[in-house]
Chain A
Amino acid sequence: MRVSLFVTCMVDALYPNVGVSSVKLLRRLGVEVDFPEDQVCCGQPAFNSGYHDAARDAAAQLVRAFRDAEYVVGPSGSCVSMIRHYYPALFEGHPLEAEANAFAAKTYELSQFIVDVLGIDDVGARFPGRATYHTSCHMTRGLGVLEAPLRLLKNVRGLELVDLPRREDCCGFGGTFAVKMARLSAAMADEKLDHVAEVQAEYLVGADTACLMHLGGRLERRGGRVRVLHLAELLEEGTRPGVRIEPEESARRGGAGAAGGAGGAAGARTGAGDRAEEASA
């Protein structure tokens, strides 16, 4: 099985280790990954701000870049939602209409792909700690993907997953909204972060780097010992050699792995936007 990675411009430029984690994780699950180099951006920032011609230009490039892909997988609920939901209408009457529709039909968010296409909801990860999951709006409402990431997280050994109160309330990123209405956007982040503190989570996990950048950025100003990380990063760290629960080991121990093991998973690394060593050389 081979997938083409849609890395998204935000991950590519700002959080490359989310992309690296996605690749390593998919490989461990037996998937070959390629990376069409001509990809850039889904166009959502322009689309949401009303600049639909600019959005279409960016989107057209993306459609072309993935022409030959069989499956397209991206670590972003909001970008994938843009593609699946809005590309058909955006390309109505356009020469690329048929390809855009085909592209929309073959593009998946990472957790959605792992659970719904690969049929795997336990990647054999071990990641001790207390975590809460941020249900980003475009992924949950737009894409309708809520169960997949939760199932993956519930099966992580040693991970105490607690529900985030009022999880359906938006974190306040909203694209250019975060900049145009910065104080309002920060007020929404504050409510969200108050809930994270309320449940005493050590880790805030999400599937959308935009939300994580916004929440993590606000968290750094407020202070707090919460590590903000992407689902791909958590699962990758949790399945590194030495950390991963092997099938035989799982059977011997009766299924539930004990906490512990090496790997940089646990611990008090705080601050948002932590990037892997490769990136800060």
Chain B
Amino acid sequence: MAKAAILDRIDQALGNERLRRAVRKATDTFRGGRARVISDFDWEAMREKARALRAHTIEHLDYYLEQLAARVRENGGHVHFAENASQAVEIVRRIAAHHGVRSVAKSKSMISEEIHLNEVLEADGIEVYETDLGEYIIQLARETPSHIIGPALHKSREDIAELFSKLEGRPLSSDTPTLTQVARRRLREVFLKADMGITGCNFAVAETGSIVIVTNEGNGRMVTSLPRVQVTLMGMERIVPRLEDLDLLLAMLTRSATGQRTTSYVSIVSGPRKEGERDGPEAFHLVIVDNMRSSILGGEFQEALNCIRCGACLNICPVYRQIGGHAYGWVYSGPIGAVLTPLYKGIEEWGEVAQASSLCGACYDVCPVKIPLHDMLVGIRRASVETGKSKALERLAFRAFGFVMSRPGMYRAALKIGRLAQAPFVRKGRFRAAPPPLSSWLSHRSLPSLPKRSFREIWAKGIDDEPGDRRGTS
């Protein structure tokens, strides 16, 4: 049962002190970086502009997708449309077969995680290499990413040294330069030899038929320059109307994600190489993926498609801070994950993820495109309730709540009953034991008992002034 699973994963994470330290360190660094650079602008005005641009784009999604496809084809590229994960995987397999691909160099693509692409290609006998350093590390460790921007932030340098040592067949020290050199050297060979590059897509520009890849390492450039075939996987909502719109969205993305004014590289690729170019892909394939995104168009959660995958909500979330990304159970974690997972994978099975939030609203505060994530979490909880599948006891409890709290007489009676019923469990103003769900509270905190008189009973007797009290005038 998915609910038990998430509670287990949360429990495991809470018990993993090393993970929690790593998560705190990474998120604090990203958060601090962001705070330093957002003062470059009237940040609130920029957020509103970015929100308006994203909202406009999603409202006209069909129009811009059509424009994008036409431009990419004019530029000599191919465009494919995948309704779901299995179609997307099949398209990539056939492209690989068509071009006689034996090896693939991949730069970061969240979509490829959604569709579990690597396993399928490997089963076809194709060698697949992740080239983003963090993704390379977790590929070796056979794990999934734990953060949108820093997929391996849960790994210590000792973990990484162990992985790389196995690869090299000799013990390696765990200092950063040594480990980086290993990755650079090994992946350099991959870049030069790989038949196909598979990339994700931060943005796709409709007007020019371009895909945009934002990296710091340079692997995004390598895989779009050296292999002979390029495949770019794109979530259909990543579209941007005009090239110059990138100025705003890149400004919001890099600042919100890592606190950088810009990343080391922003690659803009508009199809295969031009006549005369000596590098760059000879064939370019854009795979536009739906995978449940269209299911939230036209509804109350449509704004979730504004997301530019910056990870700022993860970095600010007090819950993510305690449990890290894996506890959420899918490729997207933190507040955006808690919203998308139930929506994309089914509310009945995954609705529980939306319970892992105290609704503090910090996510909305930092979202560069103003997605009301905190309100959406309540909306998902409401949708869960509406499926009729929530726990019977809970439904009953809240039905009683609605009944009692709308009737003052019933409420007063309930308090009287409560005071009587609590007596066996109470000592010195505190509960010593209680039935569930209160028992959960008591497992970690003390709980005060109902005092002998409620406020309204005190009021009824009269609240006198203190002796010598003077009422002011106003």
Contact = CB atoms under 8 A, between A and B. Distances in A.
A227 interface: no
A164 interface: no
A280 B11 CA distance: 38
Interface in A209-253: 213-214, 216-218, 220-221, 240-242
Interface in B425-474: 429-430, 437-438, 440-441, 443-448, 450-459, 463, 465-474
Interface stretch (B110-118, B304-312, B316-324): B316-324
Interface string B11-45: 10010000000000000000000000000000000
Given A141-B362, A184-B10, A280-B451, A50 B378 contact: yes
A58 B401 CA distance: 8
A138 B445 contact: no
Chain B binding site: helix, strand, loop or mixed by DSSP? helix
B455 A273 contact: no
Contacts of A257: none
Given A49-B381, A61-B408, A220-B446, A20 B402 contact: no
B174 interface: no
Interface stretch (B180-188, B209-217, B353-361): B353-361
Contact of B473 (A30, A183, A186): A30
Interface in A168-191: 168-170, 172-189, 191
Contacts, number: 240
B438 A179 contact: yes
A198 interface: no
Nearest to B460: A37
A269 interface: no
How large, as a class, is the contact surface on chain A? Answer: 35 or more
A12 B466 contact: no
A27 interface: yes
Contact of B358 (A46, A47, A170, A220): A170
A120 B474 CA distance: 10
10 contacts: A16-B455, A41-B405, A49-B385, A57-B403, A137-B359, A182-B444, A184-B14, A185-B444, A188-B358, A191-B318
Interface of A: 1, 7, 9, 11-16, 19-20, 23-24, 27-31, 35, 37-41, 43, 45-58, 60-61, 65, 118, 120, 137-138, 141-142, 168-170, 172-189, 191, 213-214, 216-218, 220-221, 240-242, 272-273, 275, 278-281
Interface of B: 7, 10-11, 14, 318-319, 321-323, 355-362, 364-365, 378, 380-386, 390, 394-395, 398-399, 401-408, 411, 415, 418, 429-430, 437-438, 440-441, 443-448, 450-459, 463, 465-474
